[in-house]
Chain A
Amino acid sequence: MTRSVPATWNKQFIAAGDQVVFMGTFFRNIFRRGFEWNELLRQCYIIGYKSLSLVGITGFILGFVLTLQSAPTMKAFGAESFVPSMVAISIIREIGPVIIALICAGKIASSIGAELGSMKVSEQIDAMEVSGANPIQYLVVTRVLACIVMIPILTLMADALALAGGFTASNISNKISAVLYFNKSFAALSFVDLIPAVGKTIFFGFAIGFVGCYKGYNSDRGTESVGVAANSAVVSASLWIILLDAIAVQLTSVFAYS
């Protein structure tokens, strides 16, 4: 009757514990003296600016396609005039944050995982540690904070471009003035919509940066582990985003709309 916990479970528990410890180290090091402002700015530039085009194009097309796809159905119900507000609500509340976060998980979490992974393999992180410098502060804190700052900004920008995409799509079938379109879009939205929407992107940003750093920082020896780190960073960051979104939606429906 005495069955031991399967070995894989054991490993999962150890990994989970490891992540909690790593998270503690991260938070402690945010408030250490000698904050790396320059490196934070550099990471914001790398993480934010270099994802602009990918995120921008995705956002625009999201709005464009959503409008094109839903217009015929809405027309059948005679509700064509609700298309702008429907697109605005679905993009800003849900589709924008989640899709952009998933895309950033693919682009940013993987590159952080690969970068720190290869620094680990080539003993650069060890060298930093041994010299008496603080690699967590220099490498991890800056990257995670940069993600926390940049993901919400990228998402807001993508939201705006998605609305522009929706406007473009509406204009293909029949002329609608920009003023009217955006009036209709924003009429359906209230400021309360924006708070949980932006709020959850902060957590998505944390998940992307933290998981990328954790996987890279703790990768094994040997070059193949760099690939493993990058890959598992994307997988678990995506999973975290979906989970966090489910939680955020529940919390929002309890607090904001009741």
Chain B
Amino acid sequence: MDTNNKYEQVADQKTGNAKEAVVSISHLKKSFGTKEVLTDVSMELNRGENLVVLGKSGSGKSVSIKCMVGLLTQDEGSLKIFGDEVSELKEDALKAMRIKIGFLFQSGALYDSMTVKENLEFPLTRVLKLSDKDDIQHRIEEMLEGVGLLDAIDKMPSDLSGGMRKRIGLARTLILKPEIMLYDEPTTGLDPITSREISELILQMQQKYHTSSIIITHDMACAKITADRILVLSKGAFIAEGSYEDLENGPDELVQSFFK
């Protein structure tokens, strides 16, 4: 209950409007061939909120957030972002919407023909169309400092460790200061110390830029730090919802098993 109150206060302070949904999904269905991945997904992401999604591997977490940015199209159901139905957006409108959304890929998805610096430069010059060299350099350095990898600025992605790549991927996404962030397993494969730093970075983004985030994770420490609210995905639908404490002490065994 406490955490719920905390969340409502936070939302109140920031927007003066407790529950303004920036993402709302209802009865979403998605299958690949005969394989039903999402059967009935409904949820809302409120402005300024950190929403953690838990779920077993292969339960369709990545698929659901890929639908949100239009990389995949749902078979049935409605998916609205800022009130617009994503699957009905025209090319330019979709692009405009995507600029407001940051997407951290599970794999990092660094452009491997470019150095770290060029990776971060890419969205600045191509999306924000910045051209001032000093400004670009400044933003890149600031962002790399944020993820603790300033000294990797001239390295190629192939020379980085998995954890470093993930952090660079995070930096490349956050550099556009998105209104909505979709984190696909931001801390998986990282050591506990770095994980903690990343979790705190996510929290910082929320506080500094009022970012609304969906955080997919298996890392309960990360969930504990970042979550205002938690959803549990199983067999293509959400089966539980609540704060970290609610779910930890709840009755459902499947949900419990995430906390052990």
Contacts and interface: CB of A to CB of B under 8 A. Distances in A.
A132 B103 contact: no
Determine the main DSSP class of A at the interface with B. helix
Q: How large is the interface on B (under 10, 10 to 19, 20 to 34, 35 or more residues)?
A: 20 to 34
B176 A131 contact: yes
Given A131-B123, A133-B126, A138-B126, A126 B98 contact: no
B110 A133 contact: no
A129 interface: yes
Q: How large is the interface on A (under 10, 10 to 19, 20 to 34, 35 or more residues)?
A: 10 to 19
B176 to A, nearest CB: 7
A123 B69 contact: no
A128 to B, nearest CB: 8
A132 B107 contact: no
Contact of B126 (A115, A126, A134): A134
Interface string A126-143: 111111111000100000
B111 interface: yes
B105 A132 contact: no
B82 interface: no
Given A132-B98, A132-B99, A127 B126 contact: no
A123 B65 CA distance: 14
Contacts of B109: 122-124, 126-127
Given A131-B98, A131-B176, A132-B99, A126 B123 contact: no
B127 A127 contact: no
B27 interface: no
Interface string A147-163: 00000000000000000
B101 A133 contact: no
Interface string B107-135: 10111110000000011001101000000
Q: Kindly name the residue among B66, B107, B176 whose own CB sees the greatest number of chain A CB atoms within 10 A.
A: B107
A6 interface: no
B56 interface: no
Nearest to B173: A131
Contact of A133 (B69, B107, B127, B169): B127
Contacts of B1: none
Contacts of B127: 131-133
A78 interface: no
A138 B122 CA distance: 11
Contacts of A138: 126
Q: Kindly name the residue among A123, A126, A131, A133 whose own CB sees the greatest number of chain B CB atoms within 10 A.
A: A131
B193 interface: no
B251 to A, nearest CB: 38
B14 interface: no
A129 B107 contact: no
A122 B176 CA distance: 22
B87 to A, nearest CB: 15
A15 B132 CA distance: 44
A213 B185 CA distance: 31
Contacts of A24: none
Contacts of A133: 122-123, 126-127
B103 A127 contact: yes
Contacts of B123: 131-133
B111 A124 contact: yes
Contacts of B112: 119, 122, 124
Contacts of A124: 109-112
B33 to A, nearest CB: 13
B95 interface: yes
A124 B157 CA distance: 12
A124 B127 CA distance: 16
Interface of A: 34, 115, 119, 122-124, 126-134, 138
13 contacts: A34-B129, A122-B107, A127-B111, A128-B111, A128-B122, A130-B69, A131-B99, A131-B122, A131-B172, A132-B99, A132-B123, A133-B122, A134-B95
Given A126-B66, A128-B122, A131-B173, 16 more contacts: A34-B129, A115-B113, A119-B111, A126-B71, A127-B105, A127-B109, A130-B69, A130-B71, A130-B98, A130-B103, A131-B122, A131-B123, A131-B126, A131-B127, A132-B96, A138-B126
